[in-house]
Amino acid sequence: MTDKLSLKTPRGRTVAFPTGLFIDGKFSKSSDGTTLTSINPATGKPLGDVSAGTRADVDRAVEAARTAFDTVWGPNSTPDVRCRALNKWADLIEAHADELGELESLDNGKPVWMARDVDIMDSAGCLRYYAGLADKVEGKTIEQTEGQKLAFTRSEAIGVVGQIIPWNYPIQMFAWKVAPALAAGNTIVLKPAEQTPLSALRLAELSVEAGFPPGVINIVNGLGPIVGQAIAEHEGIDKVAFTGSTVTGKKVAVAAATSNLKRTTLELGGKSPAVVFEDADLEQAAHWVTNGILFNMGQDCAASSRLLVQKSIHDDFVARLVRNFEAHQIGDPFDDKTTQGPQVSEMQYKKILGLIQSGKEQGATVATGGDTVQFAAGHEYNGGYFVRPTIFTGCRKGMRIYDEEIFGPVLCVMAFDDEDDAVQRANDTTYGLGAGIFSENASRCMRMVHKLKAGTVWCNMYLALSNAVPFGGFRQSGYGRELGIEGLAAYVQTKAVHWNYGEKAVWPVTG
């Protein structure tokens, strides 16, 4: 057993959970006793310490996962068993939604209502969606044109999968990863982000109550260069799924390839364009674009961080956005009126401020924001990582704010002439995760859908997702898909079977 961390939230709730690594159904300290400190980004103060894993701990987790796969899960479990466990886990997550929402807010900084009503409810839905697919992992029969032979395929679980999740949606990305993997019959070694290590430990506790056997789910908190790299390189892991930056994703891909050539799914960075034409419903478009860049403090890989707006409506549309940005309620994550909390960490906070400064120095114009949020003297949030929502106009290719993923509440605006110009500017990036189109002309929307290089294209909306719809990127935004039927397919492999029921072999073969 390990120590428990007990946290009292601003709403008076006490949340307690073990702080160890969750391996083989039990919590234990790391092999060398090292820890990570979780920081409350609203105050800049520590919440507590959790165990930080080592390569030896990853080895233990992989061994437990392999044993579970070979004995109680994978080929030795049934879809019905997997379905019941996933549904029970979803029930427990919903039953503890208030507790989990407050824990997530303390650890990540997002408003409690956002964590509870969006992330946690969607995560329970994701588990239920894949619970419903557990008995739909199917093969097919293939007709043979010659001889007395039957051919068919089987879809089988891959085995032990390593999963590395980011800090922007800790519970939701947890669900996106584990739900399809478990439904297909795989066992898991998962590393949460070092900035947000807490909620995964509480979810691990609930997984025991849901009935998952020991070793099926293993959680190893730790640093990326240690635990993440060990997972990517491990010869006993059959697949790795990673969500995070493009730079780190490339390292994961190399490690996976040069070790045992394990399969990879990579959901990486983005610099997604929202394209607003003069025939759009401008008020609705302004609301969608605002939500697309400011939701979750701008910490979203598909955020609408590049706004391309037709020249004839540029000034009008920017004015609408400025109004929305300045009405954004920034502050206490435990106040249900708050729409923006702090950035997740001091490092991310300083990165965003550095990029804002670069935008000013490179000649972009600040339409609103461009600085930090200050509270009254002595306020507990004065040590937090709050950035004012910012709009830059006059942006151009070559500016860091326009080219680089900021991952914060910063919108870069560029004007365009016509449809062809919009397509060229939208696609002029190394990324390809998302894109938005705003126009009342259905034909124009369809033309743009065909021309934009992005894994998801939204028409007259932005950042709306569904557990039933696949999500992933083009180009340097990664490969593979999560969610939907495609998300399940990423965790199975196809075995072909040829069955002779009467054809005679002849040897030697003659002409």
164 vs 433: CA distance, rounded Å: 19
d(CA 115, CA 95): 14
State the Cα–Cα distance between residues 122 and 90, nearest whole angstrom.
10
Instruction: List Cα–Cα distances, 159 to 110, 162, 321, in angstroms.
Output: 35, 10, 48
Please report where in the chains the tokens 């060398």 appear, as a residue: 32
User: Cβ distance 349 to 43 under 8 Å?
Assistant: no
- List the one residue out of 267, 272, 85 whose CA is nearest residue 172: 267
Q: How far apart are CA 42 and CA 342, in angstroms?
A: 6
Active-site option among 104, 267, 405, 482: 267
Closest to 25 (Cα-Cα) out of 206, 230, 221:
206
Compute the distance between CA of residue 440 and CA of residue 218 in angstroms, rounded to an integer: 49
The encoded tokens of residue 52 equal: 């930080």
Calpha distance 122→182 (Å, rounded): 17
Report the alpha-carbon distance of residue 119 to residue 122 in Å, rounded: 5
Strand partners, 152: 141, 497
Return d(Cα 295, Cα 168) in angstroms, integer: 11
Euclidean distance between the first and the last CA atom of the chain, given in angstroms as a whole number: 72
Extract the tokens encoding 24.
């083989």
Q: Among residues 320, 300, 317, 297, which one has the least CA distance to residue 308?
A: 317
Cβ atoms 336, 426 nearer than 8 A: no
Residue 267 known to be catalytic: yes
CA distances from 16 to 5, 6, 104, 107, 370 (A): 5, 4, 13, 13, 39
Q: Three-class SS of residue 366?
A: strand
Torsion 174-36-301-61 (CA) sign: negative
Sign of the C-alpha dihedral computed for residues 51, 201, 120 and 184 taken in this order: positive
Question: Dihedral of the CA atoms 130, 136, 139, 140 (nearest 10)?
Answer: -140
Tokens 């600040």 -> residue:
366
Angle at 76 between CA 65 and CA 201, to 5 degrees: 35
The CA distance from 253 to 233, in Å, is 10
Please name which of 301, 300, 171, 158 lies closest in space to residue 241, comparing C-alpha atoms: 158
Indicate which residues carry an active-site annotation.
267
